[in-house]
Amino acid sequence: TPSAGEGPQDARFNSRDHMMGVSLYQSTRFFEGNRITFGFDWFRYGGHAWNEYVSGENAGTSADLVDKQEDELAGYVDLRQDIRSWLTFNAGLRVDHHSRVGTEWVPQVGLAFHLPQAMELKASASKGFRYPILREMYMFPPQNPDLQPESMWNYELAFSQQLMNGRLQYGVNLFFIDGKNLIQTLPNPNGSGMLNQNSGEIENAGVEVQAAYRIDRHWSVDGNYSYLHMKNPVIAAPEHKLYAGASFSQGRWNVSTCLQYIAGLYTQTAPVVTEDFVLWNLRATFRVNRWLDIWARGENLLAQKYEINAGYPMPRATVMAGINLNF
């Protein structure tokens, strides 16, 4: 893309990427009902991307987009302890050091109550975070080298039960998310166009309900519904999501289908634009023999016109087929 003041010209994009890492962990038991896991991670990633001009006034020259490498070093410990037969305690702590951002502490804690009649009640609190990736910071509009990591606390209360010897399962989850510095692509406050930005705080609360029923050895059905209340709307997040699916298996055949209804999905927040749509997907697999499967898949078979991010329309009805070779 030409800089301000440059005339028309064509550029060829080039990139070299690399990533390497090491992960080590060890689990041990100190006494009955106890499990402790210690671990260590190290990752190095980065790359070099540049434009090579092939015409125009800068023909024969090149311009760097990014030439960076970053390191991430982390250690963690995870504890699981059974307290009698009706209670399990979980706790964990991860210390993550990033060569550009610094050190982040990531704790989590939870309780699981094992109740009569195959019921279970879980309560948990956990922290999560995400570093901005090099593409978001340096490559192509709307890049922003000043992005900070996303972080959030998630609180959840979940109830589940199994009935009919496990053939019927259902559950209800209540959750609350308190986050800051969420990375979104928003209008540039200092000029025209769009810019990746840390959008400030978010407070989301919601409920999820799900159920699955195995009718017999051939048929099974499942479904779920979620409602999300957003104090500050989040791009690509829907207020309502309803899913219903069914699967059939007999002999060499496996067939599954699902319907998904999405309402109040924010494709952009300034100004607010939302989408409502229904998706129907279908998949079938036939096992020819132990090493060959033939499959076909149809997505968005109702040919819905919709977007998840403003300006990027999703495919209409799509049908694909192929084979799997199993060695």
Cβ atoms of 326 and 294 within 8 Å: the answer is: no
Is 55 part of a structural domain of the chain?
A: no
Is 278 within the bounds of a domain? yes
Is 61 within a domain?
A: no
Give the helix ranges, DSSP H, for the chain. 134-138
Range of the domain at 232: 24-44+72-325
pLDDT of amino acid 141: 80
Residue 177 domain-assigned (yes or no):
yes
pLDDT tens per residue across span 11-34: 788 888 888 999 999 999 988 889
The pTM of the full predicted model, rounded to 2 decimals, is 0.80
Q: What is the CATH number of the domain that holds 82?
A: 2.40.170.20
Return the structure tokens found at 129.
């975070």
Cβ–Cβ < 8 Å for 239, 261: no
What is the spatial distance between Cα 183 and Cα 241, in angstroms, rounded to a whole number?
23
Rounded Cα distance, 82 and 212, in Å = 28
pLDDT of residue 182: 84
Number of residues assigned to the chain:
327
> Residue 98 and residue 132: Cα distance in Å, rounded?
11
Cβ contact 104:66 at 8 Å: no
Residue 53 lies in a domain: no
- For residues 198 and 182, the answer to whether their CB atoms sit within 8 Å is yes
- Cis status of the peptide bond prior to 107, with omega within 30 of 0: no
Cβ-proximal residues to 268 (8 Å cutoff; 6+ apart), any chain: 235, 309, 310
Structure-token pair, residue 79? 């504890």
Residue 1 to residue 11: CA distance in whole angstroms? 7
Q: Give the residues of the chain that fall short of pLDDT 70.
A: 1-9
Number of domains in the chain: 1
Q: What share of the chain is helix, strand, coil (3-state, %, to 5)?
A: 0, 70, 30
The pLDDT value given to residue 25: 93
Residue 10 lies in a domain: no
Residue 149 lies in a domain: yes
Q: Which residues contact 155 (CB under 8 A, 6 or more apart)?
A: 124, 125, 175, 176, 177, 178
Q: What is the structure's pLDDT at 3?
A: 41
In a domain, 103, yes or no: yes
**Inter-residue contact 267 to 310 (CB < 8 Å):** yes
Measured CA to CA, the distance from residue 130 to residue 143 in angstroms comes to 17
Please state, in angstroms and rounded to a whole number, the distance separating the CA atoms of residues 231 and 213.
35
